[in-house]
Amino acid sequence: MLDENELWILSFYRTSEISGALFFGRLAKSMKPGPIQRDMTKHFTDEAVHAWYWTACIEKLGSKPIKLSAAYQDQYLSAAGMPANLMEVLAITQVFERRAIHQYMLHSQIPNIQPETEEALGKIVEDEKWHIQWIRDALRSMEGDYGKDLIDATLKRFHEADQEVYRTMSQEHEERIKHLIKQKTGRMENVRSR
Ligand SMILES: [Fe+2]
Ligand SMILES: [Fe+2]
């Protein structure tokens, strides 16, 4: 059975993955034929599958996902504004992906995580590596059209919006993870000192 804190964190991942899937799915639907249309479609379905991994993981651990109203992605878009062109779309995507990987890496530092969580985390992180890679390649292929300087400046702008949103929202995630690490480390110390 998950405690309140763990359930919140896993539900937060599930909600974020759903928001990601909806965001990328809408984009994939609106794209012209080509490699970006293809990769964005695969990307969108990966995020949808991730939402299912978390749902199934929570279920296996004997709980039900909490309905969280706001996801990081929703907040982020209102802070950064909707992307104006394909290059901006990819820049935003890269910032999302970096944030997601950062959160999952932080999670993997919790000692003695349940095997169910570890399994979901492992599968997802593998996909996330490809997400980062295809977007990086696609952005590089746009340097001829947009110029490297503009692409770098756009990434910086969205990165700053991310920091802003993070301070107000995803911070709760980080605090809960740290709490969990402390709690579990404390427990481990108790076991050792016995
Ligand atoms: Fe994902
Ligand atoms: Fe992703």
User: pLDDT category, 189, cuts 50, 70, 90?
Assistant: low
Say if residue 54's pLDDT is above 90. Answer: yes
* Token output for 134: 């295809």
**Tell me, what's the pLDDT at 56?**
98
Q: How far is the CA of 124 from the centre of ligand 1 (A)?
A: 6
Ligand nearest the Cα of residue 123 is 1
Q: What is the C-alpha separation between 79 and 192, in angstroms, rounded?
A: 47
**Tell me, what's the pLDDT at 193?**
46
- Strand locations in 51-159, DSSP E? none
Q: How far is the CA of 190 from the centre of ligand 2 (A)?
A: 38
Overall pTM > 0.85: yes
Q: How far is the CA of 53 from the centre of ligand 1 (A)?
A: 10
Residue among 97, 55, 58, 51 at smallest CA distance from 76: 97
63-102 tens-digit pLDDT: 999 998 766 666 676 777 778 899 998 998 898 898 889 8
Say if residue 144's pLDDT is above 80. Answer: yes
Say if residue 192's pLDDT is above 90. Answer: no
Average confidence score pLDDT of the chain: 88
Tell me the mean pLDDT in the region 97-118: 90
Domain count across the chain: 1
CATH number, residue 44: 1.20.1260.10
**Tell me, what's the pLDDT at 187?**
65
Tell me the mean pLDDT in the region 32-41: 94
Which long-range contacts link 89-93 to residues 24+ away (Cβ below 8 Å)?
Answer: 89/27, 90/36, 90/135, 90/138, 90/139, 90/142, 91/139, 91/151, 91/154, 91/155, 91/158, 92/158, 93/24, 93/43, 93/131, 93/135
Q: What is the C-alpha separation between 127 and 45, in angstroms, rounded?
A: 11
Q: How far is the CA of 19 from the centre of ligand 1 (A)?
A: 10
* Token output for 66: 């909490």
Q: Which residues contact 21 (CB under 8 A, 6 or more apart)?
A: 44, 45, 47, 48, 50, 51
Say if residue 6's pLDDT is above 90. Answer: yes
12-31 tens-digit pLDDT: 999 989 988 998 999 899 99
* Token output for 18: 């759903």
80 versus 62: the higher-pLDDT residue is: 62
Q: How far is the CA of 131 from the centre of ligand 2 (A)?
A: 5
**At 95, which helix (H) or strand (E)?**
helix 86-107
Residue among 86, 87, 82, 80 at smallest CA distance from 148: 87
Domain that holds residue 97: 4-193
53 versus 167: the higher-pLDDT residue is: 53
